[in-house]
Amino acid sequence: MMYSQMQPLSMKELDYIADSISNEEMLSKLCAAAAAVSQNFEIEQAMLEHIRAHEHHLHQLTDSLRQHQMAAPTPNH
C-alpha cells in the first residue's frame, strides 16, 4: 500500500497496536526468563527463537505506526 492511499488509524486501531506492542514485549521477557532457567538445550533454543519472533513482531508494529504517521490527521490550532 502506498503512503498516499493510507488512511489515518482510528483510536481503536491505535489502542490495539499499543496492546499488541505491550503483549509482544511481555512475551519476549517471559521467553528470556524461561531460556535463562532452562536446563534443556532444546527448550532454551526454542525460547530464543520465540524471542526473535516477538522482536520481529515489535519491529513490524512500530514500522506500521511510522508509515501511518504521515497519514495521521494534524490538530487544527
- What pLDDT was estimated at residue 1? 47
Question: What is the predicted pLDDT for the residue at 73?
Answer: 64
pLDDT in tens, 23-44: 999 999 999 999 999 999 999 9
Residue ranges in the chain modelled with pLDDT below 50: 1, 77
> Is 7:71 a contact under the CB 8 Å cutoff?
yes
- pTM (2 decimals)? 0.76
pLDDT score for 53: 97
Length of the chain measured in residues: 77
Q: How far apart are CA 7 and CA 23, in angstroms?
A: 25
* Beta-carbon contacts of residue 24 (< 8 Å; ≥ 6 apart): 54, 57, 58, 61
Confidence at residue 75, expressed as pLDDT on a 0 to 100 scale? 60
Give CA–CA dist 75/77, Å, rounded. 6
CA atoms of 49 and 67, how far apart (whole Å): 27
